[in-house]
Amino acid sequence: QAYPSSPVLQHRMSAAKRSYSGLQKQVLGLYRECLRVARTKSDDMRANVTNIAREEFKSKKGIPKNEIERIEYLLRKGRKQLDRIRSSNVDGVSRS
């Protein structure tokens, strides 16, 4: 057998085959962009941005997929927050 049959590997393989809606792709894209922006910051701020992003996305995970207006609102809010963090003169962040 060429590949190990671990549950983690099987989960990753099934996730790779999954197709996402446009809205889901936007949410995942925003999360990845948060992580990219975090990598451009100092070590302390990088950890802070990463942790806040993780907590925010995790806390919103249970929002039903059919609440499109709410998800779109949160995407707009998240993009605005990310633009503020992306600004080079930002030296700290906090969860609001």
Give the N- to C-terminal CA distance of the chain in Å, as an integer.
50
Higher-confidence residue of 52 and 14: namely: 52
User: Whole-angstrom Cα distance, residue 47 to residue 96?
Assistant: 17
Two tokens at 50? 């990463």
Contact 20, 28 (CB under 8 A): yes
- Report, as an integer, the average pLDDT of 66-73: 96
pLDDT at 77 over 60: yes
Q: pTM for the full model?
A: 0.72
pLDDT at 41 over 70: yes
Name the 3-class secondary structure at 34: helix
* The predicted structure's pLDDT at residue 20: 84
- Report, as an integer, the average pLDDT of 2-11: 60
* The predicted structure's pLDDT at residue 58: 96
